[in-house]
Chains A and B, each alone.
Chain A
Amino acid sequence: MAALDIIKIKSLTKRFDELTVLDHISLNVKEGENLVVFGRSGTGKSVLLKCIIGLLEPDEGEIYIKDKNILKLNIKELNEIRRHTSFLFQGAALYDSMSVHENLEFTLIKRKKNTPGEIDEKVHHTLNLVGLEDAIDKMPSELSGGMKKRIGLARAIITEPEIMFYDEPTTGLDPISSKDISELIISLQKDLNMTSIVVTHDLVCAKIIADRAIFLKDGTIAYEGTLNELVRSKDKFLQNFFSTDLIKS
């Protein structure tokens, strides 16, 4: 059975004043698929994710999540969609004034679907998944950059979303944690049939998780294919991008 397109993007355009960041991008993501988004810094990868989840308003185009045009929804309907999605921000975006424990339980408490006991259980279980059970009572300011990322990931997945948006989930992590996180993403896809869009520069991470990859350049999808096709491409630009990336990682 062919999987459904859970995300559909039609001719998405986003400008900031004179700067056109996304230029008529069309893209579909299948249910259960892991899509990796490559692109040099400042090409609009984060902007793309933020448009999809409704944080930024596109200038043109349509965006469908689970067949709902999110640009036409009111805030209540949009929030209903957002119950099924999660976002890992590039800088983790942990709530500074809350401990790790409070960060993780915050959304669950607000959604009022679980008992306090269940929430506690989930917090411990999720922290265990990202390997940071010891940090439960720490404040975000006491965590290293890599730990913040992992707590950010824990906070995103604790709600068991159907769709995950990862903005550079492994940037700034050491190679081993980076590999662990990538494997966690894969296992989430397997266990929960999660759909993911993953922005990354990390080829090791991409190798582990990518079902398909796209490459953003000059506001458009310049290349699309399996990771192998992109990496083995004869195209000068791609060769250049991936060779420098390999040396770094």
Chain B
Amino acid sequence: MKLPHHYSKRRLTTSEIIYNFFATLTGITVFNIQFFKDLFLPPYEIREVKKQMNELGIKTFPIVSITGLLIGLVLAMQSQPVFARFGASDFLPGAVAISVVRELGPVITALIFAGRVSSGIGAELGSMRVTEQIDAMEVSGINPFNFLVVTRVVATTFMLPLLTIYVIFIALFGSYFAILLTQGMSFEYYKNAVVQSIEFRDFIPGIAKTFVFGYIVGIVGSYKGYTTTGGTEGVGRASTTSVVVASLLILVFDTILVKLSLMIWPL
């Protein structure tokens, strides 16, 4: 794989910037193709996938729990006076639920996941690259791409939807808590209002897009880490740019996927 020019302290010329841009673009494309090639090739590293699911997914539950609770709480707190002003307090649970399920739950979970996991993968694979651990794997006849990249991307792709579903539930509890404090409502009533307002066409697109976000988090971190150059400094760069690129891509793809889902399931 051809790597972009070495980063250097001096400013790059325009032609180098353009070269780097296209080198990176081709690099990412080749990387994605390689992923789908290796995904279906043995050996299947089931054990390693499980390990990464635990490492990258399960260990993210604590941080997203707090986030989920706060999203629900804040959203309900912010919306409550507005709904009351228009005499629509009864609609509050349903409105909060729809925004949490369709948009806030998936996107905020994905952004947090990108912050923790994309950077982690970038740093880990980056340091394996610069200390020649990836080369060591390769010369012993083991496919490092399969062992390191495929396992991580599979893990992130399947863990993020699980995390998101969990976050949505926590956020709905948070929102109930806020409503309880501000205007009072029985849990039974709240639950019914939520269940009645959320439909299949809210839930499916909301969860479906998180598979894409999970893939983005895994593949961006892996790409940045796997192609790290420039020693320890390069590892830091791989880690931070992973988060930036993954977060941006998540928002871009969110826009595209929302548009798409509205075409498939019109409201």
Contacts and interface: CB of A to CB of B under 8 A. Distances in A.
Interface string A77-92: 0011011011101110
Contacts of A80: 141
A99 interface: no
B256 interface: no
A93 B141 contact: no
A19 to B, nearest CB: 12
A89 B136 contact: yes
B139 A87 contact: yes
Contacts of A96: 127-128, 131, 133
Contacts, number: 52
Contacts of B127: 96
A159 B140 CA distance: 9
A93 B142 contact: no
30 contacts: A50-B135, A54-B139, A55-B138, A55-B139, A75-B143, A80-B141, A82-B139, A83-B141, A85-B139, A86-B140, A87-B135, A87-B136, A87-B139, A87-B140, A89-B132, A89-B135, A93-B131, A93-B133, A93-B136, A94-B133, A95-B137, A96-B127, A96-B133, A97-B124, A107-B141, A107-B142, A110-B43, A110-B141, A111-B141, A159-B140
Contacts of A90: 132
Most chain B CB within 10 A, of A83, A97, A159, is at: A97
A18 to B, nearest CB: 13
Given A87-B140, A93-B131, 14 more contacts: A55-B138, A85-B139, A87-B135, A91-B132, A93-B132, A93-B136, A95-B133, A95-B136, A95-B137, A96-B131, A97-B124, A107-B142, A110-B140, A110-B142
Most chain A CB within 10 A, of B132, B137, B138, B142, is at: B132
A99 B144 CA distance: 18
A20 B248 CA distance: 40
Most chain A CB within 10 A, of B131, B132, B135, B141, is at: B141
Given A96-B127, A96-B128, A82 B135 contact: no
Interface residues of A, number: 25
A53 interface: yes
Contacts of B141: 79-80, 82-83, 107, 110-111
Interface in A8-48: none
A85 to B, nearest CB: 7
Most chain B CB within 10 A, of A53, A55, A83, is at: A55
A55 B128 CA distance: 15
Which 9 A-B pairs give the minimum distances between C-beta atoms?
A79-B141, A93-B136, A93-B132, A82-B141, A107-B140, A87-B139, A89-B132, A93-B133, A110-B142
A152 B223 CA distance: 27
Interface string A149-174: 00000000001000000000000000
Given A96-B127, A96-B128, A110-B43, A55 B135 contact: yes
Interface in B111-165: 124, 127-128, 131-133, 135-143
Contacts of A159: 140
Contacts of B43: 110
Interface in A61-85: 75, 79-80, 82-83, 85
Contacts of B138: 55
Contacts of B133: 93-96
Contacts of A50: 135
A83 B135 CA distance: 15
Most chain A CB within 10 A, of B133, B135, B142, is at: B133
Nearest to A76: B141
Nearest to A152: B136
Nearest to A107: B140
B234 to A, nearest CB: 15
Contacts of A79: 141
Nearest to A78: B141
A110 B42 CA distance: 12
Nearest to B5: A17
Contacts of A110: 43, 140-142
A126 to B, nearest CB: 14
A159 B136 CA distance: 13
Contacts of A93: 131-133, 135-136
A10 B135 CA distance: 24
B205 to A, nearest CB: 37
A96 B139 CA distance: 17
